[in-house]
């Protein structure tokens, strides 16, 4: 089955700096890649997603890039703010199932 | 906008007891998913339903069962509870025919087994 690996597991950046989180997936049939932000004890919140027919997508300070050949995708957050501090999960799914397979998460700390 | 509703929000049970978690998807969403998230872990897919039929099954123990009713709400039934069942249980819903099949998560039920 699909396996998603995510790194780093923790990331500490200074406010205003950029943060990059990377994920790789194993099943080439996966074609939908969302990113979720989760604060402690709260629900995962979708922040951006990308489908396999697109290489890059941007929404204000957040962008996601996808390399289908290498089977990896990345989340880029620019001009980080303390409120960006949370756990970020990447995930993958495919049309045959739609279930989300999550990466292990990255704890992002933005230092004021 | 209406969101996914889960009840109860918190549940405390003893070992070997049973628990029932409820999920009310976003209106007109046709697919419901259940995920289990242990402390410090990523959400793990348990089971999903499309139009009231089970559509996929993940790492769900035999002690657990689930169903989706005619009004599209879903229930996760958990029997012979074990300490290791303590976790956050999320329900998510989606519109399968939508452009990205985006899954919207409910607030979760925190289950504590003592």
Residue contact A99–B108, C-beta within 8 A: no
Contacts B44 to A, Cβ<8 Å: 102
- pLDDT value of position A98: 85
CB A46 within 8 A of CB B102: yes
pLDDT band at A94 (very low <50, low <70, confident <90, very high): confident
Closest CA to A3 of A21, A22, A20, A28: A28
* Coil vs helix vs strand at A21: strand
Report CB contact under 8 Å: B108, A102.
Answer: no
- Looking at residue A24, its pLDDT comes to 98
- β-pairing, B10-13 vs B109-113, is parallel
The rounded distance, in Å, linking the Cα atoms of A90 and A104 is 8
Closest Cβ–Cβ partner in A46, A98, A105 for B96: A98
Average pLDDT value for chain B: 93
Which distant-in-sequence residues (6+ apart) come within 8 Å of B62 by Cβ?
none
Nearest CA in chain A to B107: A43
State residue B71 phi and psi, 5-degree precision: -90, 10
Partner residue facing A97 (CB), from B44, B56, B110: B56
What is the rounded distance in angstroms from the CA atom of residue A27 to the CA atom of residue B101? 18
Placement of tokens 């027919």 in the chain: A53
A4 pLDDT higher than 90 = yes
Instruction: Provide, rounded to the nearest whole percent, the portion of chain A with pLDDT above 70.
Output: 100
User: In this predicted structure, what is the pLDDT of residue B98?
Assistant: 59
What are the two backbone dihedrals, phi and then psi, of residue A74, each rounded to the nearest 5 degrees? -135, 150
- How far is CA A50 from each of CA A29, A58, A91, B82, rounded to the nearest angstrom? 14, 10, 11, 38
pLDDT of residue A70 exceeding 90: yes
Token pair in block for residue B61: 């123990």
* pLDDT confidence tier of residue A28, bands split at 50, 70 and 90: very high
Query: Which residues in B have their CB inside 8 Å of a CB on A?
Result: 31, 33, 35, 41-45, 48, 55-56, 58, 88, 90, 92, 94, 96, 100-108, 110
């Amino acid at each position: 089955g699909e396996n998603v690996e995510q790194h780093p597991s923790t990331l500490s950046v200074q406010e205003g700096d950029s943060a990059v989180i990377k994920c790789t997936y194993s099943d080439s049939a996966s074609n939908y890649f969302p990113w979720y932000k989760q604060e402690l004890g709260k629900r995962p919140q979708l922040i951006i997603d990308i489908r396999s027919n697109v290489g890059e997508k941007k929404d204000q300070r957040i962008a996601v890039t996808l390399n289908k050949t290498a089977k990896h995708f990345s989340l880029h957050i620019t001009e980080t703010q303390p409120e960006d501090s949370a756990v970020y999960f990447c995930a993958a799914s495919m049309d045959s199932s739609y279930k989300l397979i999550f990466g292990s998460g990255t704890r992002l700390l933005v230092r004021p | 906008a209406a969101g996914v509703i889960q009840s109860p929000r918190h549940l405390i049970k003893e070992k070997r007891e049973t628990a029932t978690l409820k999920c009310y998807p976003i209106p007109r969403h046709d697919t419901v998913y259940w995920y289990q998230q242990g402390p410090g872990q990523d959400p793990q897919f348990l089971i999903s339903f499309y139009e009231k039929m089970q559509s996929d099954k993940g790492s769900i123990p035999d002690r657990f069962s689930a169903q989706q009713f005619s009004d599209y709400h879903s229930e996760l039934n958990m029997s012979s509870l074990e300490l290791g069942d303590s976790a956050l249980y999320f329900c998510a819903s989606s519109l399968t025919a939508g452009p990205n099949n985006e899954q919207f998560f409910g607030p979760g039920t925190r289950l504590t087994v003592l």
